[in-house]
Each structure stands twice: as structure tokens, then as C-alpha cells.
Chain A
């Protein structure tokens, strides 16, 4: 990508000397939808919290996060205040704990409008109403006087999205936005995010553990494992031709919707390594069926596999069979 909206390069984060991110490179183009997938502890959320300066003080953050030519890491507070919410907005898994329970939702959306767009009074109220309407809150005019506990989980997530939209961000980072919601509500929220992206032209980063959710919503997917991006691939190729053994393993661990029922899944053996006790070389090595001695020599870099696909694996190539028993796609 020549001129991305956000370019993260060599991002490293350590807590008390324990590395959590080990050099993440990721770019998001204007208007693009990028999915970030991985299991708990892989660093998918920390990447964006670090990029926005939202990690606690004990975190050691190095590398570079450039938004529109401006470096964000170590940027002065006034700059970050304009970026957070104004350029890049973020929503989280549990909307109920992100909203203030003692303030009406209209006031909370209005606060974002005042901070980022200097709106007040009747203008702010009208805009709040429009935003709540846009995110599909029924009867927005009256509902803006409701408290979060009077709304369902799905409605509260819509309010969070309205707050995020208030600053007219160019990038929305949605961190597991549907994980705490029921499946039919998850479908509503994903539909809403797609509609809003089409209406506003903002870019979207969707962080999720669910490959299906990400592939359906995003153009491109970054798969993370143990603090690194190990594969970057278009959503179309993700399911047809995953390159990294970990990506292949995640896909084959997904129960199929057809074929013989109750057959064994090709599960990845073992579990995610502890950040303080990472294996040498490729962190996936001990769980990998393709593991060879050269894998332990160094952390494999991301290399081009195909147009629009990069993977961090030393043992790649057309003659290499899939690492896990992938159903012929």
C-alpha cells in the first residue's frame, strides 16, 4: 500500500519486561475494512490500544504508528486527544461497561459531539438524534433520554457506535463488538457496520476471534499469533488458500456445516504459549505438524506467498500439503 491511512510498523509492547507484541506491521488504507484475528493473548487488541496510547503507564511501547504522515507514538496529549475519537474511534466488546450507567445515552453521545465537533444545545441534540437514528435505535427522539440499563445489549452497542461516529472518524476500530451479543443481534450489528462504512466511507478494523465474522465483513485479514502477524491475506483467499499452518489449523478447527456429522475436527494440539516462555524461532513451532529444525533458528519474517498474501513461515510452497486435514475447499 503506497499511502495508507494508518501504518503500524515494528510495534513492540512489553509489560514488566514480558513481550506481548513482538514487532507488528499492519497498514489500513482509507475506507478499507481489515480484520484482525487470533486467539486470546495474541495481541490483537493490544496493537490498537498501543497505537492510540491507551495502555497503562507500565507498558513499554516502541515502534511507529503513523496516521496521515503524523507519528502517534509519543505524540503530545493535545494531538492524541484530537486523534482519539476524531480520527480513530474505538468500540469494545461489552457496551454496558463502556457506557456510563448514571447518564442518559443522549448526553453521552452529546459529550462526544461537544468534544470533537464543538456542538452544543439544540444543534447537539438534533445531531445526537440523527446519529441514534442512523445506527438504528427505534424512536431515537425519546430513547435519547433513556439510561443504558433501559436498553438491551444490542441497543447499547448501537449507542456506542453512535458515539464513535460522533467525531466523524476516518477509522473505526471495533474490538470484538459482537462477542457479548446474541447471534441474531450479532448479525444486526455486522450489517450496521457494513452499512455505515458504505454511507460514511470510513475505514474499519474488526478485531475478532471468529474467522467467519471477519471474512464476511472485511476485505483483508491479518492473523496474529503470540504477538506477531503471521499471515496477511484477502478474505477471499483466506478460506481457499490459507498459507500459514496456524491459519490452516484455525480453519480446520471450525465445525463444518456440511459433510458427515460428528466427525473429528483437525484440532490444533496443545495451547497458546505463555508470553514469558516463548519457544525459540517460530512461536507456533511446538504445535505445528510441519515443524522442522530450521523453524527454531529465528522468528520467520512475513514473505510474499501470492499477490495480496504474505505469511511468516519457513516451510511454504506449492508442494507443501496443508498442515491440518483441511476439507477440500
Chain B
């Protein structure tokens, strides 16, 4: 069976002006990302701000058209943005954002908002289904009559999930769905995501900066740095033995009680996507960089030893014999 979603070589460029009269520069938010989402599987996409993980989510959903590359959904290319076929496909793929209050209309009741997808996609029996959806996400049926401001943050995110599930989508893209929630409520929403995923055989793209949360909900994890995936594998394998130096730094940065070993602190700031370093974009911050890293962009490919997909000359053993 083909994967539910296959993205191949996605590139998204933006042009921006530096300063008031400055010349235009090109910013590659996503720079050649390929990913496969198997049916019923959750892929965690992790990285820091500006690494292109949210843009990747929007490209995958077809909310934005890529400048290069293709997205195939259910074996067929995603139709052009705005076309009738594209609109019909919206029912099968949905998105959940970080800020549930921003994603809900403050003037409409929760019930009206959950029923809206049924109207848009011409489905019958909205009222009954709303009650069922509310139960599925752990809200009482009487919440249908409430307004967003009457709900707590966690309850709002549940309402957003209910609305996203209304059309029974095959694919759910969650962009930092728990970052705005309190710790105790984050756990509730992660539990809900795990349950919904298992019960409905949902395919999910879970975008987060939090490796702990990614491990909690994902079957696979992809680490992004400056518009590219630099490592991909099973969450536990990546957490226990990260291959890419950037993934190593991310794992080492997870706050850990009773830590005895000193944390590996990465120097410098994430680089500006408009001034991408040549070669491996990570090399200016990398403790292991060698000459090759400064000139040649490493390719994401399986490592010889265990098949872990990693884009690093050093981890791939291509930098042998070179002095660091």
C-alpha cells in the first residue's frame, strides 16, 4: 500500500527586503524536504523557531504551493490551491494550531463552529454528530452552547480538535498543539491525541519544538534545521543515540532532573535563513565540522551501520582522514 502522503523535494522561498531601502533577498524557509507519512502513523517534526517546520506543515496540507517539489496524497498529486478538487480534499486533511483561542471564532458557540465543516462539505446530520464529536474529545454535550471565552485553554484545544475531526479526516497536521497549554493540561491533550490516533487510524504530522512531547505521541521523528531534515528515525533510537550533532545538542538540551554529566551547550544562535551558510548549514555551530562540511551540503540518507537516516558527513563516515 502506498503511503498516505508523500512529499518529494519540497522547496518554499520567500523574498524579503532587508531594511527600508535594502535590496531583496531570498529566504529559503523549506529547502528540499522529503517525507512520507504512512497510514495510521504519527510523524513528529521537531526543530527550533524558523527551521521551516510550520511551513512544511502548510506545504504538506496544500495550504501553500511549493516552489519546487511535489506532494502526493493518497497516491495522487494534490490539486492546485483554490480549485474545486482542492477544496473537496480539505475534508480529508485538517490542521490544529498552537493557539486555540485564535483558531476559534469568539462570536460563535462551540457547537456552531464544530457544525460548520458539515455545512461547508454538504454533510447531513450535523447536530447529532456534534454531540458525538464533543464526547470523543472529552467534552460534555452542553459545551456546544458555550462560547470560546467560557472554556479553559485545554477545553478550547479539545473543541478545536473536535472541529478538525468533524469531516473524519485521514490526515491531521498539529502545529505546536500543546505549547500554549499548562503542563498538567498538556498531558491531557497528548493522551487525547494518542487515543484519537489509535481509534480512528489517523495519520498525523505532529510539529513541536519539544522532543519529550514528540516522543510521547510519535512513531517516527524528523529533526529539522534551517529548512532541511537532518535526521529521521524512531523516537527512542534518536533520543538514545542521536547521530546528527544538532540532534545531539537538542537531546542534551532537554532539562533532566538529577543530571550529573554537564550538558553539551551549543554555541551561537540559529543562523538567519536569508544568509544560509554554505555546505552544511549547521557547520558554524558544529563541534565536529571538518573542511568538507563547509563546502558540500550533506544528503539525508541511511547510515551504513544501522540504516538511520542522517544528513551529516561526519556521522556518515565521509569525513574520514580529515582533521577537525
Chain A positions within 8 Å of B, measured between CB atoms, are: 39-40, 152, 154-155, 182-188, 190-191, 209-213, 215-216, 235-236, 238-239, 249-250, 252-258, 261-262, 264-269, 271-272
Contact of A212 with B191 at beta-carbon distance under 8 Å, contacts A39-B184, A187-B265 already known? no
A267-B184, A267-B191 are contacts. A212–B255 as well, Cβ < 8 Å? yes
Q: Can you list 30 A-B contacts (CB < 8 A)?
A: A39-B182, A40-B182, A182-B209, A183-B254, A184-B249, A184-B266, A187-B265, A187-B266, A188-B265, A190-B255, A191-B265, A211-B257, A212-B255, A213-B255, A215-B257, A215-B258, A216-B259, A236-B258, A238-B257, A254-B187, A255-B215, A256-B212, A257-B239, A261-B236, A262-B194, A264-B194, A267-B191, A268-B188, A271-B154, A271-B182
Which of chain B's residues has its CB closest to A178's CB?
A: B255
Report yes or no: A257 in contact with B184, Cβ–Cβ below 8 A. Answer: no
Contact of B254 among A191, A212, A236, A265 (CB under 8 A): A212
- Enumerate chain A residues within 8 angstroms of B254, measured Cβ to Cβ: 183, 212, 257
Given A39-B182, A215-B257, A262-B194, A255 and B270 touching (CB < 8 A)?
no
What separation, in Å, do the CA atoms of A265 and B249 have in the docked complex?
A: 26
Give every chain B residue within 8 A of A256 (Cβ-Cβ). Answer: 212
Give every chain A residue within 8 A of B212 (Cβ-Cβ): 254-257
Q: Which residues of A contact B255 (CB under 8 A)?
A: 190, 210, 212-213, 215-216
Establish whether residues A184 and B253, one from each chain, have CB atoms under 8 Å apart when the complex forms: yes
Residue of B nearest to A213 (CB): B255
Residues of B within 8 A of A239 (CB): 257-258
Asked if residues B182 and A255 are in contact (CB atoms below 8 Å), the reply is no
CA distance A252 to B184 in the complex (A): 9
Bound CA–CA A258/B186 (angstroms): 18
Which residue of the partner chain, among B183, B249, B263, contacts A39 with CB atoms under 8 Å?
Answer: B183
Q: Which residue of B lies closest to A271 (CB)?
A: B152
Interface presence of B312 (CB below 8 A): no
Closest chain B residue to A191 by CB distance?
A: B265
A187, B259: Cα distance in complex, Å: 13
CA distance A88 to B216 in the complex (A): 40
Binding site for A on B (CB under 8 A): 48-49, 152-155, 182-188, 190-191, 194, 209-213, 215-219, 235-236, 239, 249-250, 252-259, 263, 265-267, 269-270
* Least CB separation from B185: chain A residue: A271
Residues of chain A within 8 A (CB-CB) of B154 are 271
In the bound complex, CA of A235 to CA of B259 (Å): 11
Q: How far is the CB of B137 from chain A (nearest CB, A)?
A: 14
Q: Which residues of B contact A182 (CB under 8 A)?
A: 48-49, 209, 270
Shortest CB-to-CB span from B265 to chain A, Å, is: 5
- Cα of A89 to Cα of B213 in the assembled complex, Å: 33
Minimum Cβ distance to chain B for residue A130 (Å)? 21
A269 to B184, alpha carbons, bound, how many Å?
A: 8
Asked if residues B187 and A265 are in contact (CB atoms below 8 Å), the reply is yes
B257 contacts which chain A residues (CB < 8 A)?
A: 211-212, 215-216, 235, 238-239
* A271 touching B216, Cβ below 8 Å: no
CA distance A186 to B155 in the complex (A): 29
Contact between chains at A187 and B190 (CB < 8 Å) = no
**Within the assembled complex, what's the spacing in Å between the Cα atoms of A40 and B153?**
11
B183/A254 in contact, CB under 8 A: yes
Residues in A neighbouring B216, C-beta threshold 8 A: 255, 261-262, 265
- Closest CB in chain B relative to A193 CB, distance in Å: 12
Q: A-B pairs with the 9 shortest C-beta distances?
A: A212-B255, A253-B187, A267-B187, A255-B216, A182-B48, A268-B184, A39-B182, A187-B253, A265-B187
Whether A187 contacts B263 by the Cβ 8 Å rule is yes
Inter-chain CA distance A278–B265, complex, in Å, is: 43
| Alpha-carbon distance A5/B194, docked complex (angstroms) | 47
B53 to chain A, nearest CB (A): 12
Q: Give the distance in Å from the alpha carbon of A257 to the alpha carbon of B265 in the complex.
A: 20
